[in-house]
Amino acid sequence: MSQDLKQPNGTDILRVDGLSKKFGGLKATDGVNFSVQENSITALIGPNGAGKTTVFNLITNIFPPDEGTVAFFGKQIAGWSPMDIANLGLIRTFQSARVFPGLTVLENVMVGRHRLIKSSDFGQMLWSPESRREEMRIRSQALAMLKIVGLERFKDAHAVDLPMGAQKLLEVVRAVMGSPRLLCLDEPAAGLNDTETEELAALLRAIRAAGISILVVEHNMSLVMNVADHVVVLDAGRVIAAGSAAEVQRNPQVIEAYLGREQNAAA
Ligand SMILES: Nc1ncnc2c1ncn2[C@@H]1O[C@H](COP(=O)(O)OP(=O)(O)OP(=O)(O)O)[C@@H](O)[C@H]1O
Ligand SMILES: [Mg+2]
């Protein structure tokens, strides 16, 4: 299938080594190691409170680790500002959807592109024919992305008026507009219905096919098993397993720590 043109190619683009972070006496992450291969969809899974969002916050330096390092394309990025990290091409979304109020759906997506426009260009932007052409190009790119996730018909609606699931899809689309090299998504399927989840799966595969690697935190196991090339399992701040979706699914420690608990809860 043309969507699967790009596949994991064995090159690590993100390496996380020994990441530890304590909150008070609680070890939110405890010596976390894993890597993300170029052109892969890597899923980071684990029960509530396992430390998944903390790993994202450490990678994007929302707060610094107590110990450990993060390398992106071989560069140590510990201590870089979240903005500089985004400018390197490591772009994330947040667990709770954050659309810009006061902007339409289309405008929300177009805003994702603007991190690439230098502020010195802003004056020019308003007036030059070249800028207007660029704006039209961004607009048609944004519309094409909205079409993939079935939101094109809502392009002129206020983004805050969309249902939560649609707002989450919108956030992913906006992040892609920033041309990431690695896209980190924190629970993009939370609040999505089955149709929206299928649209998200199609979007994630399309993103990978375009050469963008993905690190995704997700509780929706069927989505993970469906799209992930590699799965890393966290429990109580530690990596307890890593491998293909099929491998981690049959790992007894994972079944006990995560899937087992879920099954017990469902029983
Ligand atoms: N800023 C913070 N201050 C204090 N404690 C925190 C902070 N962030 C996370 N924690 C704690 O660290 C642990 C890991 O939290 P984290 O949010 O990383 O888990 P998670 O795996 O993302 O869980 P969930 O699946 O519920 O989103 C939890 O016990 C949480 O209460
Ligand atoms: Mg979380």
Which residue's structure tokens are 């989840």?
197
- Return d(Cα 258, Cα 239) in angstroms, integer: 12
Distance, C-alpha 83 to centroid of its chain: 16
Question: Is residue 142 in some structural domain?
Answer: no
> Is the pLDDT higher at 118 or at 176?
176
Give the pLDDT score at 187.
94
pTM: 0.88
For residue 209, how many other CB atoms are within 10 A of its CB?
Answer: 16
Give the ligand 1 atom nearest the CA of 95.
27
- Which ligand number lies closest to the CA of residue 27? 1
Amino acid, single-letter form, for residue 89: G
Does pLDDT of 260 surpass 70? no
Looking only at the bridges linking them, the beta strands covering 213-217 and 75-76 are: unpaired
Question: Is residue 134 in some structural domain?
Answer: no
Question: Is residue 109 in some structural domain?
Answer: no
Question: Is residue 152 in some structural domain?
Answer: no
Q: Which domain holds residue 209?
A: 2-101+178-266
- Which ligand number lies closest to the CA of residue 220? 1
CA of 96 to the centre of ligand 2 (A): 9
Confidence of residue 131 (pLDDT cuts 50, 70, 90): confident
Does pLDDT of 1 surpass 60? no
Largest CA distance in the chain: 64
Question: Is residue 71 in some structural domain?
Answer: yes
Least trusted range by pLDDT, from 75-89, 124-138, 151-165, 237-251:
124-138
48 lines ligand 1 (CB under 6 A): yes
54 lines ligand 1 (CB under 6 A): yes
Does pLDDT of 153 surpass 60? yes
The torsion region of residue 191 among left (phi > 0), alpha (psi -120 to 50) and beta comes to left
262 lines ligand 1 (CB under 6 A): no
CA of 23 to the centre of ligand 2 (A): 15
20 lines ligand 1 (CB under 6 A): no
